[in-house]
Amino acid sequence: MGQILAVQCHSSARLDGKIAVITGANTGIGKTTAKDFYKRGARVILACRDVTRANEAIKDIKDQCEGEENLGELVCVKLDLSSLSSVRNCSEELLKSEKCINILVNNAGIAGVPYKKTTDGFEMTFQTNYLGHFLFTLLLMPLLIKGRPARIVNVTSMLHAFMWSSFDLSDLNFENRKYGDMRAYMESKLCNILFTKELTRKLSENDIDGITVYAPHPGAVRTEGGRYLDESYFRGMYWLWLHVLGLFYKSPELGAQTTIYCSVDEQCANETGLYYSECKPTEPSAYAKDEKLAKDLWNLSLKYVNLENYNPFQKL
């Protein structure tokens, strides 16, 4: 009923022997992506805030795939993107346990969150959707370099293009302007595209080949991403979004297709730094193409996570 038609990834590429890390993989698009990689033979690491739910997701995926051949491996690690110390701990654990990373999918995200700062002092949506992923990616770069050819997939949203006022970096934490939960979401998703652009440039600048970076927009998807709407001034909207409007949204299975495409499809293997919708490159907003903005965000982010003197592009 009312299901939006969507393009699907038809790649039959196998991931045997490959290692993939997916944030927020216990539900929605992340869980669907984990299942897809598992069926392709990958060792899939579900990096999740709630380890209990991650293990439940692993059991469910295994149950759904029971009897199938050439499956991979599913494991979980604890990652709370709203805590930079958790990001560092998870990264350190992976650096010790994994020989490399071939695919990193920065998928976890929240929307509709009432104003709140993390223990690190940043606005919750900004840190969870963007800044935590920024730190996670840079700390895991040695494993991605070892895993070449490797792909980094930063899940974003078309809503990055719907901001109703100018975007600048002077008040990302909403300390000097009125907070809007959807505005915070839009800005965090714009940051993911700017990060994709600047990371691509930095990789080239440091002569790191074999790592491609993508920013897919999944479309309107019926997931738990809007669960915080019930706690905000949109109280009751989550029920409406989930049970009424959700009937016209993509299922997580369809919503994951562009993420999967960017992660595995041979057609985009040599593309990098682009924004995708429905399994093909498309144009993002003017802000998302602003090179100076991308550079300034990169430098500010390094300062925020105390990596100003760290070189993530060392070939170990």
Sign of CA dihedral 226, 227, 231, 234: positive
Q: What would the two tokens of residue 130 be?
A: 């963007």
> One-letter amino acid identity for 233?
Y
Candidate list 38, 115, 179, 185, residue with the active-site label: 185
Nearest-angstrom CA–CA distance, 229 and 236 = 7
Q: Is 185 a catalytic residue?
A: yes
Specify the DSSP element, H or E, that contains 274. Answer: strand 274-277
Cis amide bond preceding 149, omega within 30: yes
Give Cα 206 to chain centroid, integer Å.
Answer: 24
Cβ 232 vs Cβ 112: under 8 Å: yes
Nearest-angstrom CA–CA distance, 42 and 38 = 5
Q: Please compute, for residue 98, the number of CA atoms within 13 A of its CA located in the half-sphere on the CB side.
A: 30
Nearest-angstrom CA–CA distance, 251 and 245 = 12
Nearest-angstrom CA–CA distance, 93 and 77 = 8
Specify the DSSP element, H or E, that contains 105. Answer: strand 103-106
Cβ 73 vs Cβ 61: under 8 Å: no
Catalytic residue numbers read 185
